[in-house]
């Protein structure tokens, strides 16, 4: 489990299925990911969801994002883990619209990057976001990602962004110094703990 100021990341569980299904059948949310809304029944979805929880895909690490009151508000993941090249791809979705445009996405990405760089030997994390999704790009830039190219996939143009371990370390050091000067404390950032 990874905790930030207003959110925590935790392992996915079966009780997340209802929200996940609602979000994956929502055309607007799917459009933000250049995906089609799911057409399967909830019963079929639940069967596949249960199987995936029991037998997760190798190289894919999914987390629920919840507020500190325990409400499931979204999901994040790192996947396509390549230990030889030291890289992985990151994805995030804040499915609950009540939490949009308030910095929850940034906190979740920061928490996931902290987890990745503190618990693995990966040297870089990359992502793709739709070229027109300026809100997402703004969030990712605040987290330290920089644009590194564009790709076309299924008729959509995506901006590729990347952050390297060394950039993350500098960003965390600067953030810690700023927090310490604001609070006058020498506290360290939230620690990653395994649940």
Identify the pLDDT of residue 125: 98
Per-position DSSP letters for the chain, written without gaps between them: -EE-SSEEEEE--GGGHHHHHHHHT-HHHHHTTT-PPP-S-HHHHHHHHHHHHHSPPTT-EEEEEEETT--EEEEEEEEEEETTTTEEEEEEEE--GGGTTTTHHHHHHHHHHHHHHHHS---EEEEEEETT-HHHHHHHHHTT-EEEEEEEETTEEEEEEEEEHHHHHHHHHHHHHHHHHHH---PPPPPB---
Stretches where the chain sits below pLDDT 50 are 189-195
Q: What is the structure's pLDDT at 184?
A: 60
Tokens 């760089």, residue located: 117
- What are the sequence ranges of the domains in the chain? 2-183
Q: Which CATH class is domain 2-183?
A: alpha beta
Output the six-digit token pair for 47.
């069967």
């Amino acid at each position: 489990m990874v905790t930030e100021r207003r959110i925590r990341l935790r392992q996915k569980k079966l009780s997340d299925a209802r929200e996940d299904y609602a979000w994956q059948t929502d055309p607007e949310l799917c459009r933000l990911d250049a995906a089609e809304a799911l057409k399967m029944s909830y019963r079929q979805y639940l069967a596949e969801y249960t199987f995936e929880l029991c037998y997760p895909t190798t190289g894919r690490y999914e987390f629920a994002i919840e507020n500190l009151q325990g409400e499931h508000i979204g999901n994040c993941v790192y996947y396509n883990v390549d230990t030889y090249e030291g890289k992985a791809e990151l994805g995030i979705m804040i499915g609950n619209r009540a939490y949009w445009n308030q910095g929850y996405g940034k906190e979740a990405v920061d928490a996931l990057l902290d987890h990745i760089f503190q618990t693995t030997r990966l040297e870089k994390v990359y992502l793709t976001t739709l070229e027109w999704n300026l809100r997402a790009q703004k969030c990712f830039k605040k987290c330290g990602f920089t644009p590194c190219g564009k790709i076309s996939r299924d008729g959509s143009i995506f901006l590729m962004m990347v952050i390297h371990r060394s950039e993350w370390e500098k960003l965390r050091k600067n953030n810690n110094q700023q927090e310490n000067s604001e609070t006058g404390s020498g506290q360290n950032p939230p620690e990653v703990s395994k649940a």
